Amino acid sequence: MFGWTGNFLRVDLSAGHVYVQRYDGNLARKYVGGRGYSIKILWDEVPPGANPLGPENRLVLSIGPLTGIPGPSTGKLVVAAKSPLTYGYGDGNVGTRAAVMLKRAGYDAIIISGISKKPVYIYIEDGKTEILDAEDLWGLDTFRTEKVLAKRHGADTGILSIGPAGENKVKYATVMSQEGRSGGRTGMGAVMGSKRLKAIVIRGTREASIANPEEYRKVASEAYRDVRSRPGYSFWRRQGTMAAIQWSQENSVLPVRNFSEGIFEEAENIDGFAMEKIKVGQRGCPLCNAICGNIVGDSEDMIAELDYENVALLGSNLGIGDLRKIATLNRLADMWGIDTIGLGVAIGFAMEASERGLIKDKIEWGDFEAARDLAENIVYRRSGLGKLLGESIAKVAETLGGESFAMHVKGLSITGYDCHAAPGMALSYAVSPIGAHHKDAWVISWEVKTDRLSYGKEKAEKVLELQRIRGGFFETLVACRLPWVEVGLDIEWYVKLFNLATGIKWGVSDHLKVAERILNHIRAYWVREHIAGGIGWNRDKDLPPRKWFEKPLTKGPYTGAKLDFNRFQGLLDSYYEIIGWDKRGIPRYSTLKRYDLLDVAQVLSKYVKLEP
Ligand code: PTT
Ligand code: SF4
């Protein structure tokens, strides 16, 4: 095999066993890597209905054929497991030296099962893997953990770790790397914590094997040059994803006060230009020449890395308009290893619950100190409210009431786009393969330029088109999608690089077919897990939060706008029809057959009758 290593590293933490499994080219061609390998492994190996925080769950860290080989932004890794937030498929994507090192160490994935009796970390050095004691690291934040491990094993190693949020099994704890790369907002840090696995340290020194190395290097350097020559490149380097604050404000989609409005009165204080005034540096993922991490000084005289989502959810969504204070919350979240989006939605919910008198705690909009204290209570699961808010926001609302303002889909918190006046984006959240996330279909950037308030079929088509490219193509290669999305790099570069790396001759359509196979397999997984786990399955799971249907916007050009329930159902029907699912949102037998998933159909039909 070229491009791929053909090896999975398996670690059983209960037994303390490690072994290498060879796999064949058929699996590689069918699932490619990253998210593809993750769903296949979870489907085959995690018993239906298993407890996500139990020993049977698998934590899968996987890369793809392009990862780790120099080419635009190929330093990314997918971290996946059955999600403790949603009880469905969960993954996240993290830019990290660990991705590059994994390829160089000779593995396409690490598959971790079991639960260790005591805290441990995994140390991989090429062909040698050890499970080492981590008693001294348990309790440390992710920055400190990485410093200690880098000192012990070398600053050139790739390190992934969890902080106190993961150790305390906060359901939206993430896996962190390099003081500012975070992955797995579906609770992958909690899964790692449940296994008492504090960190993974990887050193790899081998050259990746490439089918046509000379031509690959030539095309990769042309692609790098193309990234730099794009018109949007220098502005992207200046602001990165932070440019989206101004854009969202202008389009009335910036989340404000728990997604009640799309316009924030202090947006100018927290946008990309405000960020440029306090920017002190920049950093990013390995192998990237469009690095976008903005480093700023925070209100506690430390430095923090800002991204759009972090500022939208911990800033405008909480009514906080001071960028340095937002940066402090962002930095603490990184140190603790907790998702900024989940945290912003949890605190926003608490602020609204407090305003409505649903809880006794007084937490007002814009109160940074109260937000900071509550965040700490959540991470350490201290007080009653803090402890509860460490669960999914769906569970919180079930316990306290407040379903009408719990901002999630299937238990995963909504990311940074208000959808009162954006039905297409609401659909994207509703049918995302991991619960509410924009990563698969950031359709809003297209939607605001079209007939924005329409519920036409073209919106469902666009969502699927984007899901295939963003959620399939980039999540299997595995590479960062931002040079394509933000700088306009043509995806043909990646197709060429894939062919040169693997020796396979595929066009875009071959990749899109794999992408659709994966989308269907993931949906089958959700249905199986929810039925086997006794939660049940129905199409209401694919609905955006009630607030967007019930409470209209009161500010800006879209004042009075809210989603229409019946028309949204029509849009959902269109999506189901296009992708080949029935009215319950379950893949049809013929659809699974079309994507060579008859084995999946066979298993799924034990849980639910499949329509032809
Ligand atoms: C992603 C989600 C996002 S999406 C952001 S900001 W974004 C938040 N970042 C967090 C953070 O930071 N710290 C923290 N404690 N929690 C955070 N939660 C949020 O997590 C990230 C970039 C970004 S910045 C985006 S859009 C792109 N995402 C990609 C993706 O998903 N796939 C892919 N092939 N390429 C991508 N490129 C971009 O990567 P999740 P990163 Mg991320 C500090 O984790 O679970 O996927 O959720 O990985 O290395 O930090 O890069 O405006
Ligand atoms: Fe990482 Fe940004 Fe580069 Fe993507 S564009 S690889 S997120 S630094």
Indicate whether 273 and 372 sit together in one domain.
yes
Tokens matching residue 186: 């579906």
Within-domain flag for 495: no
Residue 278: Cβ within 10 Å count: 15
212 in any annotated domain:
no
CA distance 542 to 525: 15
Question: pLDDT tens digit string along 105-135?
Answer: 999 999 999 999 999 999 999 999 999 999 9
Domain containing residue 128: CATH number: 3.60.9.10
130 strand-pairing partners = 123
Considering the domain architecture, whether residues 73 and 105 belong to the same structural domain is answered as yes
Q: What is the pLDDT of residue 594?
A: 98
Q: What span, in angstroms and rounded, lies between the C-alpha atoms of 494 and 474?
A: 9
Q: Is the same domain home to 397 and 478?
A: no
**What is the mean predicted confidence (pLDDT) over 287-303?**
97
In the block, residue with structure tokens 């059983």: 12
Of 93, 86, 110, 111, the closest CA to residue 391 belongs to 86
Atom of ligand 2 nearest to the CA of 95: 1
3-state secondary structure 464-519: HHHHHHHHHHHHHHCCCCHHHHHHCCCCHHHHHHHHHHHCCCCCHHHHHHHHHHHH
Q: What is the pLDDT of residue 383?
A: 78
Per-residue tokens: 564: 């229409």
Q: Which atom of ligand 2 is nearest to the CA of 486?
A: 5
Taking the CA of residue 180 as reference, the ligand 1 atom at the shortest distance is 43
Report the distance separating Cα 262 and Cα 553, nearest Å. Answer: 7
CATH code of the domain covering residue 382: 1.10.569.10
Whole domain around residue 356: which residue ranges? 231-416
252 — pLDDT class (breaks 50, 70, 90): very high
Q: Which of 146, 253, 310 to mutate to test the pocket of ligand 1 (most atoms within 8 A of CB)?
A: 310
Query: Ligand 1: distance of its center to the CA of 154 in Å?
Result: 26
Domain total in the chain: 3
Is 408:429 a contact under the CB 8 Å cutoff? no
Give which of 470, 440, 471, 422 is closest to 571, Cα–Cα: 422
- Mean residue pLDDT across the chain: 97
pLDDT digits (tens, 9 = 90+) for 481-519: 999 999 999 999 999 999 999 999 999 999 999 999 999
User: Based on the domain organization, do 184 and 331 belong to the same domain?
Assistant: no
* Contact between 387 and 174 (Cβ < 8 Å): no
Query: Which distant-in-sequence residues (6+ apart) come within 8 Å of 214 by Cβ?
Result: none
Distance 448 CA to ligand 1 centre (A): 23
For the segment 41-55, what is each residue's pLDDT rounded down to a tens digit?
999 999 999 999 999
pLDDT digits (tens, 9 = 90+) for 513-562: 999 999 999 999 999 999 999 999 999 999 999 999 999 999 999 999 99
Q: Which of 416, 450, 475 is the last residue of a domain?
A: 416
Q: Ligand 2 center to residue 10 CA distance, Å?
A: 29
- Between CA 52 and CA 584 the distance in angstroms is 25
The Å distance, Cα 281 to ligand 2 centre, comes to 15
Q: Does the residue 37 lie in any domain? A: yes
Overall average pLDDT of the 376-390 stretch: 95
pTM for the whole thing? 0.97
Nearest-CA residue for atom 2 of ligand 2: 292
Domain end: 388, 416, 444, which one?
Answer: 416
Q: Ligand 2 center to residue 179 CA distance, Å?
A: 14
Testing ligand 2's pocket by substitution, the residue of 291, 481, 485, 486 carrying the most ligand atoms inside 8 A of its CB is 291
**345 in any annotated domain:** yes
Q: How many angstroms separate the alpha carbon of residue 556 from the centre of ligand 1?
A: 29
Residues in contact with ligand 2 (CB, 6 Å cut-off): 73, 95, 284-285, 288, 290-293, 480, 482
Atom of ligand 2 nearest to the CA of 240: 2
Q: What is the mean pLDDT of residues 142-164?
A: 98
Nearest atom in ligand 1 to 93's CA: 46
Same-domain pairing of 353 and 464: no
Single out the residue of 441, 437, 462 nearest to residue 451, CA to CA: 462
> Which of these three, 359, 394, 416, is where a domain ends?
416
Kindly report the CATH number assigned to the domain that includes residue 596.
1.10.599.10
Q: What angle do CA 481, 177, 414 make, to 5 degrees?
A: 55
The set of residues, in sequence order, having a beta carbon less than 8 Å from that of 213 and lying 6+ positions away, is none
Judge if 399 and 484 occupy the same domain: no
